[in-house]
Chains A and B, each alone.
Chain A
Amino acid sequence: MRIIPLQRKNLSDTTFLLLVTIGLFAAMYAAGMIIFTNQGFAKPQMFLNLFITNASLIVISCGLTVVMITGGIDISVGSVTALVCMVAAYMMEKQGASVYAAVSVSLGIGLAFGLAQGFLVSYLGIQPFIVTLAGMFFGRGMTAVISKEMISIKNEVFLAWANYKIDLPFGTTNKKGVFQHAYIYPTVIAALVILILVIILLKRTKFGRALYAIGGNQQSALMMGLNVRRTRFFAYVLSGFLAGLGGFLFCLNSAAGFVEQARGLEMDAVSSSVIGGTLLSGGVGNPIGTLFGVLIKGTISSLITTQGSLSSWWVRIALSALLCFFIVLQSVITSRKRKTKSGSSGP
Chain B
Amino acid sequence: MRFKKVLCVLLTAAVMTGLAACSGGRQPSPAPADNSAGASAAADNTDGLIVVGFSQVGAESDWRTANTKSMQETFTADNGYKLIFDDAQQKQDNQITAIRNFIQQEVDYIVLAPIGETGWDTVLKEAKDAGIPVIIVDRMIDVSDDSLFTCWVGSDFRKEGDIAVAWMETALAGKEKVNIVHLQGTIGSSAQIGRSEGLEAGVSANSGWELIAQQTGEFTQAKGQEVMESILKQNSQIDLVYCENDNMAFGAIDAIEAAGKTAGINGDIVIISFDATHAGLAMTLEGKINYNVECNPLHGPRVEKLIQQLQAGQTPEKLAYVEETAFDAATITQADIDARAY
- Inter-chain CA distance A255–B130, complex, in Å, is 21
User: Can you list, as one digit per residue, whether each of A108-135 has a CB less than 8 Å from chain B (1) or not (0)?
Assistant: 0000000000000000000000000000
B101 and A175 form a contact (CB under 8 A) = no
B93 part of interface (Cβ distance < 8 Å): yes
- Inter-chain CA distance A259–B186, complex, in Å, is 10
Residues of B within 8 A of A261 (CB): 92
A154 and B144 form a contact (CB under 8 A) = yes
Residues of A within 8 A of B144 (CB): 154, 159
Residues of A within 8 A of B125 (CB): 163, 165
A305 and B19 form a contact (CB under 8 A) = no
Name the contact of A312 in the complex, choosing from B20, B92, B94 (C-beta under 8 A).
B94
A254 and B129 form a contact (CB under 8 A) = no
A98 part of interface (Cβ distance < 8 Å): no
Name the contact of B27 in the complex, choosing from A35, A154, A336 (C-beta under 8 A).
A35
- Inter-chain CA distance A176–B106, complex, in Å, is 9
- Inter-chain CA distance A28–B19, complex, in Å, is 7
Residues of A within 8 A of B15 (CB): 24, 325
User: Can you list, as one digit per residue, whether each of A302-329 has a CB less than 8 Å from chain B (1) or not (0)?
Assistant: 1101111111110000000000010011
B42 and A150 form a contact (CB under 8 A) = no
- Inter-chain CA distance A260–B115, complex, in Å, is 11
B131 and A20 form a contact (CB under 8 A) = no
- Beta-carbon contacts under 8 Å, A143-179 to B: 148-154, 159, 162-163, 165, 174-176, 178
Residues of B within 8 A of A141 (CB): none
Q: Chain A, interface size: which category?
A: 35 or more
- Beta-carbon contacts under 8 Å, A267-321 to B: 298, 301-303, 305-313
B249 part of interface (Cβ distance < 8 Å): no
Residues of B within 8 A of A176 (CB): 131
A336 and B4 form a contact (CB under 8 A) = yes
- Inter-chain CA distance A260–B60, complex, in Å, is 15
Q: Which 9 A-B pairs have the closest CB atoms?
A: A152-B118, A150-B188, A38-B41, A308-B84, A40-B104, A256-B119, A254-B119, A38-B40, A256-B118
- Least CB distance, B131 to chain A, in whole angstroms: 6
Contact count A vs B, C-beta below 8 Å: 162
Name the contact of B87 in the complex, choosing from A16, A45, A298, A311 (C-beta under 8 A).
A311
B8 part of interface (Cβ distance < 8 Å): yes
Name the contact of B131 in the complex, choosing from A165, A178, A308, A329 (C-beta under 8 A).
A178
Known: A153-B118, A309-B84, A336-B4; 6 extra A-B contacts, CB below 8 A, are A24-B19, A39-B41, A53-B96, A298-B97, A302-B101, A310-B26
Residues of B within 8 A of A75 (CB): none
Name the contact of A16 in the complex, choosing from B8, B16, B84, B121 (C-beta under 8 A).
B8
Name the contact of B5 in the complex, choosing from A16, A40, A302 (C-beta under 8 A).
A16
Residues of B within 8 A of A148 (CB): 187, 216
A255 and B94 form a contact (CB under 8 A) = no
Residues of A within 8 A of B39 (CB): 38
- Least CB distance, B164 to chain A, in whole angstroms: 21
Q: What are 11 sample pairs from A and B whose C-beta atoms fall under 8 A apart?
A: A24-B15, A35-B24, A53-B100, A149-B187, A152-B119, A159-B144, A258-B188, A306-B84, A329-B12, A332-B8, A336-B1
- Pick from B7, B85, B90 the residue with the most CB of A within 10 Å: B85
User: Can you list, as one digit per residue, whether each of B318-331 has a CB less than 8 Å from chain A (1) or not (0)?
Assistant: 00000000000000
- Least CB distance, A96 to chain B, in whole angstroms: 17
CB closest residue in chain A, given B216: A148
Chain B residues with a Cβ under 8 A of chain A: 1, 4-5, 7-8, 11-12, 15-16, 19-20, 23-24, 26-27, 30, 33, 39-42, 44-45, 83-94, 96-98, 100-101, 104-106, 116-119, 121-122, 125-126, 129-131, 142, 144, 186-188, 216
Residues of A within 8 A of B11 (CB): 328-329
- Least CB distance, B117 to chain A, in whole angstroms: 7
- Least CB distance, A159 to chain B, in whole angstroms: 6
Chain A residues with a Cβ under 8 A of chain B: 16, 20, 23-24, 27-28, 31-32, 35-36, 38-41, 43, 45-46, 49, 52-53, 148-154, 159, 162-163, 165, 174-176, 178, 180, 185, 250, 253-256, 258-263, 298, 301-303, 305-313, 325, 328-329, 332-333, 336, 339-340
- Inter-chain CA distance A171–B16, complex, in Å, is 30
- Least CB distance, A299 to chain B, in whole angstroms: 10
Name the contact of A174 in the complex, choosing from B90, B91, B106, B118 (C-beta under 8 A).
B106
CB closest residue in chain B, given A264: B91
Q: Using known A-B contacts A16-B5, A253-B96, A311-B87, determine if residue A49 contacts B26 with beta carbons closer than 8 Å.
A: no
- Inter-chain CA distance A52–B116, complex, in Å, is 21
- Least CB distance, B57 to chain A, in whole angstroms: 12
- Least CB distance, A48 to chain B, in whole angstroms: 10
- Inter-chain CA distance A212–B71, complex, in Å, is 53
Q: Using known A-B contacts A38-B41, A178-B131, A313-B89, determine if residue A258 contacts B1 with beta carbons closer than 8 Å.
A: no
